[in-house]
Structure 1
Amino acid sequence: MKILPVISTKGGEGKSTQAANLCGFLADAGLKTLLIDGDFGQPTASSIYQLTYEAPCGLYELLMQTVDLSDASKIISHSFIPNLDVIISNDPQAHLLTAMLHAPDGRLRMRMRNILQHPLFKQYDAIIIDSQGARSVMLELIVLAATDSTIGIVKPVLPDIREFLRGSIAMFEQLRSLSSYGIKLAISLANLRTGLKHRRVVRVIRRCKLLRLKIRLTMYRFVQIINEKRHYQGNN
């Protein structure tokens, strides 16, 4: 089972679309896939695919641990795509933010990680977790649930790349102290590889075709910032 969060600390980057597309591709390839909509502010991923069955519970009950996970029908919704299930987001008032901040295992941001070890989730080949486009305890909790790496979404334009460095990369640096708990922290952004400190690998998901000179120059600038380690300065 692979758990793969899809994140960005900036809204409007296309996280929900990318997460849903990835789930669709995996399901079409025959992999049993679960999409967890962790964006309580704008739960787009919950509504991208038509549901043939909507469970009475969702993200809120999952993280508050008030649902019986031995009964999959209470928490797992089914999409019209074979092999693709969904856990919907159902916390419009954002009560989870406060609850997770003060939960005993919430302080270490481990609750999602711990919950997904339940036998219910072992049936899935891949679990993709969408997230909110803002730095919060919920985003950290989702990132730390990853089994190997996290997909970061960033548009190939310089302002978005700068925000990615200030937000997503800075968050990973701060969470690095939790590696003593056996947590692997890696952020993946497709098609571009650059060496990063602590053996992290960065691959950049380019939502636009890298044929235009402007986009090529932007991505070149991004690689320079990473390779020169100027993202640690926090002002690029």
Structure 2
Amino acid sequence: MNKKKQPVQGVSLVSMINKNSTLAEECRIIRSNIQFSAVDREMKSIAITSSSMSEGKSTVAANLAVLFADSGKKTLLVDGDLRRPTVALTFKQSNHIGLSTLLTDMNGSIHDVVRDSNIPELSILTAGPKPPNPSEMLNSNRMLEVMETLEEMFDLIIYDLPPISNITDAQIVAARTNGTVLVSRQQQTKKSEFLKAVNSLKMAKANVIGVVYNGMKKNSDSYYYYG
């Protein structure tokens, strides 16, 4: 019997709710480590993905976007998960237009779909209506054109991508970004799926800059580990 899919929900912005919390501080550490990985080259785009569902990749992506914006970078969070989007829900915005709209309309303007998040220096691009062919749309020349234009408009773009298992969406976009972060969750992520995800990213020639080990409790407070 197939497991019933959980309804899609927005994620908690711990970096905004309580900026002094342990979780927020650990997200800052992840942000710093990403910055350190870009010492020799400019990091304009980052892909966040996972090996399977419910490992926390959208939470990591959204909170990192908030923290990079908080550091003064003009940041854009793109919902590249065209199948199970969360960004619109997280920021309480409509998803009637978004990335899929932009990829469908060759004459569409990026300015019409990029929105203010109500957080200084942070903009969002929601996924838009679910298309029948997400992989083909993300692998199109139009997508490459959009990504290049966004890099001219923003200091940093963070792509919240779908899990790697069974679909190629994340591989396609990750290969076109400067760096990829893979999120896993303690006592949930299967080693075989994780290794498969790493190999899939390597095959796509994505630049994996780190892994966030989500849910790790080294002590009574710690939740995230980056390595």
TM range (shorter): 0.5 to 0.7
Per the normalisation by structure 2, the TM-score is 0.67
8 Å contact kept, 1:5–1:151: yes
Choose between structure 1 and 2: higher helix proportion.
1
Counterpart of 2:207 in structure 1: which amino acid? A
Residue 164 in 1 paired to residue 194 in 2? yes
Q: TM-score, with normalisation over the residues of structure 1? A: 0.65
Call closer, same or farther: CA 1:41–1:79 in 2, change over 3 Å: same
State the shift of 1:164 in Å: 1.0
Q: Is the 8 A contact 1:33 1:83 kept in 2?
A: yes
Q: Is the 8 A contact 1:49 1:79 kept in 2?
A: yes
Q: Residue in 1 aligned with 2:120?
A: 82
Aligned-CA RMSD value: 2.8
**Kept after mapping to 1: 8 A contact 2:100/2:131:** no
Unaligned 5+ residue runs, structure 2?
Answer: 1-42, 220-224
> Do the aligned partners of 1:27 and 1:84 also contact (CA within 8 Å) in 2?
yes
Are 1:115 and 2:146 matched, yes or no?
A: yes
Q: Which has the larger radius of gyration?
A: 1
Where 1:112 maps in the other structure, the secondary structure is helix
CA deviations on 1:48-105 (whole Å, 9 max, x unpaired) are 1245xx6963111233353433x61x121111111111111123254333555xxxxx
Residue aligned with 2:195, SS = helix
Q: Distance in 2 between matches of 1:129 and 1:116?
A: 10
Q: Which residue of 1 aligns with 2:103?
A: 63
CA distance in 2 between partners of 1:34 and 1:209 (Å): 28
Q: CA deviation at 1:205?
A: 1.2
- The answer to whether the aligner puts 1:14 opposite 2:56 as a matched pair is yes
Structure 1 segments unaligned to the other structure (5+ residues): 101-105, 177-184, 190-203, 213-218, 224-236
The amino acid of 1:43's aligned partner reads P
Q: 1:136 to 1:157 in 2, by over 3 A?
A: same
How many residues end up aligned between the 2 structures?
A: 178
Q: Report the equivalent of 2:45.
A: 3
